[in-house]
Copies of this chain bind each other. A is one copy, B any other.
Amino acid sequence: MNKKQLITQLSGSLNLSKADAERTFDTITNTILDALKGDDTVKIAGFGTYKVAKRKARVGRNPRTGEQIQIGASQKVKFLPAKSLKEMFNK
Interfacial residues, chain A to chain B (CB-CB below 8 A): 1-3, 6, 9-10, 13-14, 24-25, 27-29, 31-33, 35-37, 40-48, 50, 52, 74-79, 81, 85-86, 88-90
Contact = CB atoms under 8 A, between A and B. Distances in A.
Copies of this chain? 2
A24 B28 CA distance: 10
Contacts of A32: 6
A74 B9 CA distance: 29
21 contacts: A1-B40, A1-B43, A2-B43, A3-B43, A14-B24, A28-B28, A29-B46, A33-B88, A37-B88, A48-B79, A50-B79, A52-B89, A74-B86, A74-B90, A75-B90, A76-B81, A76-B85, A76-B89, A77-B81, A77-B85, A79-B79
B27 A28 contact: no
